[in-house]
Amino acid sequence: MKQRTVEKASLIADQVRETAEQAARLVRDDTPDSVLDKTAQAATQVWDGATRAGQYAADMPPDPLLERADQAARATRGNRTPLLVAGAAIITLVLVRRSRARRR
């Protein structure tokens, strides 16, 4: 069961990475380079945290955690594109606001 959970997490991670790359290409066309760099750093941090959380979940999967993870995965799969676009937009807005606040 543990191996199957790790395989599913890996498959989902690959799918999320592909969709994130597509969303990034769309956003990258209209975004300044400095904002893109900061977004990439934030994405790396989020990815590392998600990887650690996934590994922890695979190492110690209590039944309620597996059920909730399955529910979350199904909900995410159904709304993948809107979630990624919304996430990229929020990160971009936060970084733009920070850069403008520092200029003042």
Q: Say what the pLDDT of residue 1 is.
A: 66
Look at the block and give the residue holding tokens 């929020």. 90
- 28: Cβ–Cβ under 8 A, 6 or more apart, which residues? 36
**pLDDT digits 0-9 by tens, 52-96:** 887 876 776 567 777 888 888 887 777 777 778 888 889 998 888
Q: Say what the pLDDT of residue 85 is.
A: 83
- Is pLDDT above 80 for 48? yes
Q: Say what the pLDDT of residue 3 is.
A: 75
Question: 22, 70 in Cβ contact below 8 A?
Answer: no
Question: 15, 76 in Cβ contact below 8 A?
Answer: no
> What is the token pair recorded at 21?
């790359």
**pLDDT digits 0-9 by tens, 4-25:** 787 877 788 878 888 877 777 7
Q: Say what the pLDDT of residue 62 is.
A: 65
Q: Say what the pLDDT of residue 11 is.
A: 81
